[in-house]
Amino acid sequence: MKIDNKRARTHKSSSEKTSFSCEVCGKVLASKWTFEKHLQIHTGERPHQCDECDKRFSCQSHLDAHMRTHIGERPYKCNKCDRRFFNHQHLELHQVVHTGEKPYSCPVCGKGFTRQSSVVKHSGIHAEKKPYVCSECGKSYCQYASLVVHQRLHSGEKPFVCKYCDQAFPCKDTMLNHQGTHTRSFPCAKCDKCFITRSRLLKHKQKVHAKEPNPA
């Protein structure tokens, strides 16, 4: 899919600041530089390559964060649970687990989310038009990225590989959720069992320990 800088609509706010709207997905960017970086999502351009594993990235900061996975460096520490992260963005996303904050909301139904990307994905259920159609089965999507992920079901492509066990996945989010099972551990305070997700720990407590008296 060929995309160039002409695929943008410029807007001016009341303060005369120009913004750039992507005609592919509708996202609005504040500057030409961020708009050009955003376009790489649609073009697939990844000019920054890792010397260790040949993985490629759209910008240098993403490569820098990735390099920490090779040396095990996690400089960003949560002050609530001592978990550490490769970059500050991952730390901020994690911290909403403790605060329960959902600062991003759907403009149509008001549903809250912890990150803006989740709002974009959710907004598809309200979209009247779904212009991106799968040539194999006819299923349509409101976002091009969703179509790309879907088409991997037909092609069998699984480009995202777990760094711990080499299991491959068609979607990055699915791979990251799986990858967390190798490192996450949520122990039950009432017995010696541990769980890979907080939700499984809560289900265990409700099923096994719900009727047990709380310690004095």
What is the per-residue DSSP string for 183-198? T--EE-SSSS-EESSH
132, pLDDT greater than 80: yes
- Mean pLDDT score, 27-51: 80
Instruction: Indicate the range of 7-11, 138-142, 148-152 predicted with least confidence.
Output: 7-11
Residue 1 has pLDDT above 60, yes or no: no
Phi, psi of 106 (to 5 degrees): -70, 125
Q: What is the value of pTM for the model shown?
A: 0.39
Tokens representing 201? 């720990």
Domain residue extents for the chain? 1-45
Between these two residues, 134 and 99, which has the higher pLDDT value? 134
Nearest partner of 197 among 184, 207, 209, judged by Cα: 184
Most confident of 59-63, 178-182, 188-192: 59-63
Q: In this structure, which topology does domain 1-45 adopt according to CATH?
A: Double Stranded RNA Binding Domain (3.30.160)
Confidence band of 187 (pLDDT split at 50, 70, 90)? confident
pLDDT value at position 181? 73
pLDDT score, position 10: 53
Q: For residue 46, what pLDDT is reported?
A: 80
